[in-house]
Structure 1
């Protein structure tokens, strides 16, 4: 998918601005089943909300996603991961080195009661590539502010840097994962990892390559990395293939540490197109009351690449079979709420 990233996020989001506001700005999304309020059905966000990631602060969930509705980083809130309400723009102002219109795949992490970091992909004016920035806020809704004078990560010679994902390991160390956007210039797409400073503002040491596209199901690219530790084992979830095709899917690897080595699972992909949803991927993980859930986007079948409704947000449970993640989805039938 060489050169296809601009259309991937920016164009669809711009065209769908009115749809986003109409669908998300008036109240919760209609995901509860009318016959039984203890159940829900997918998708949990029925408007275009690509690349979702959520954090919990107190009793509220905050979901961040790729730009839309005239907002750089749209944010939704929910009490239960099912009913989502529009909460505005988490990043209303971009830093001076960035251009608006292509602010992709934001992910947030809480470092202290009054300190939140947001990592996001944005158009870097000097290089002409997509690069990664970081912004700080005192509360989860923001507004987040980026006081930097240049991108945190750029790698223009490798196509740019996108899909940043923060991770705090069990020992308290902070890490950042990302992808070099190699498919934009016809080179390999690696997933990278590097240590973050304790304040989350700087990279420490040297970056490490974790994995790249090697398997037939992955097509020309891997992207959307997300680290999750379960029962002591470290899992690297990632998406692969063309974002606007039914072949887009989600897989995982098992890693020895945040710097690897990582070994891809032989059962990949673990989430792929079915009759309920098409091209599911770019997933993140949330945990609630001892259950593990995959939050991801997908197209309605037969509407891949469309702007209405675009990539909706889905929520499906992960069970752990002899230590391996098994995703129960994409689902269209009612299931118990988280």
Structure 2
């Protein structure tokens, strides 16, 4: 197994003990274990998601590593990760899926585990090149096996969608997703600029939507609401960082994708990724709203996570993140994928601390590659 070989070959974790054994007497108390680690982790996932489960363990899911489905890792401490094998198998009899399994997120509800994911829909009479939809699978254990709850996608908005994320708020459940760039050309000052520079004739965009769904995850309630999209004017303060894939001549698309929403101090924070997921400019920003379906206002300190090569670092392509908390609830972390010179085009996993200050400003302590405490 490629991932198992990678894990056994790379040693990035050190455990240091502070207390009597290290020369520090702890006034009669038990030694305190300090866990240290260094990014990137020895896990070759894109779009990583970490579940802090009720059994006391962390479980990581992501894109890649297995054929037609998803694998999972488990950890007791966020530093040492054990490959649990493939936990979901797609393209099975009765499945609506056929290929391209992306961005799994797993939520524990009432003792069961629900996986939201993206895949290509078998029903494709017009032979679309991008035919992605969102489905739900369920298991009795975080390590699966996950079984689809329906032989159809959750819903069909009439265009390809990916990157499902849910938020439960006020007794209701909300689904966030990204409309793919595919066949979604958008006129803007950025598109006009690209034509004037003879870079691209049109610019396609992906947008983040939100919609209420039933609490049993089987149906959509109401119509999707457009929540986030790339800026339309050149003088918008977000345009520079969100348009780098276009302005660098890399590709004729602008992405707003990989959303992750969570509640903090009565506000809804939505983190999201911009630029080409396969390029060095992939980066993360966030927006804040008062309600699950917006409106959301993008933060002035965006991006909060991006490549660091200009400042002497080695990390590029940082994106598709999510937020989770330590078991004691005291620390906030973000997990995301990125690349280094050593890993090349392979996406690997990073974990860094994040915080929200008294003024509601979100920051991420990364991307980091030096040894640090969890």
> What is the Cα deviation at residue 185 of structure 1?
5.3
> What is the Cα deviation at residue 205 of structure 1?
1.8
2:20 aligns with none
What are the Cα deviations for residues 242-276 of structure 1, in whole angstroms up to 9, with x where unaligned? 11222110000001211000000111100010114
Instruction: Give, in whole Å, the separation in 1 of the partners of 2:184 and 2:11.
Output: 41
1:334 aligns with 371
2:178 aligns with 179
Which of the residues 222, 240, 243 maps onto 1:216? Answer: 240
1:283 aligns with 321
Which of the residues 80, 86, 91 maps onto 1:89? Answer: 86
| Mapped contact 2:184–2:206 kept (Cα < 8 A) | no
3-state SS, counterpart of residue 117 of structure 1: strand
2:348 aligns with 312
Q: Pick which of 194-203 and 173-182 moved more.
A: 194-203
2:272 counterpart of 1:261: no
Instruction: Give, in whole Å, the separation in 1 of the partners of 2:262 and 2:316.
Output: 24
3-state SS, counterpart of residue 217 of structure 1: helix
> What is the Cα deviation at residue 184 of structure 1?
6.2
1:294 aligns with 334
1:167 aligns with 167
1:135 aligns with 137
2:105 aligns with 107
Distance 1:77 1:190, change over 3 A: same
1:7 aligns with none
3-state SS, counterpart of residue 38 of structure 2: coil
| Mapped contact 1:50–1:313 kept (Cα < 8 A) | yes
2:146 aligns with 144
1:200 aligns with 217
3-state SS, counterpart of residue 6 of structure 2: helix
| Mapped contact 1:66–1:105 kept (Cα < 8 A) | yes
Q: TM-score, normalised by structure 2?
A: 0.77
RMSD, aligned CA: 2.1
> What is the Cα deviation at residue 39 of structure 1?
4.1
Q: Which runs of 5+ in 1 are unaligned?
A: 1-17
3-state SS, counterpart of residue 258 of structure 1: coil
3-state SS, counterpart of residue 143 of structure 2: coil
1:43 aligns with 39
Larger Rg: 2
Q: TM-score, normalised by structure 1?
A: 0.85
Instruction: Give, in whole Å, the separation in 2 of the partners of 1:165 and 1:145.
Output: 18
Q: Pick which of 265-274 and 33-42 moved more.
A: 33-42
2:282 aligns with 248
> What is the Cα deviation at residue 34 of structure 1?
6.2
Instruction: State the number of aligned residues.
Output: 309
| Mapped contact 2:101–2:118 kept (Cα < 8 A) | yes
> What is the Cα deviation at residue 93 of structure 1?
4.0
2:205 counterpart of 1:188: yes
Which of the residues 8, 22, 29 maps onto 2:5? Answer: 22
1:10 aligns with none
> What is the Cα deviation at residue 154 of structure 1?
3.9
Distance 1:83 1:302, change over 3 A: closer
Instruction: Give, in whole Å, the separation in 1 of the partners of 2:281 and 2:166.
Output: 27
Instruction: Give, in whole Å, the separation in 1 of the partners of 2:171 and 2:281.
Output: 37
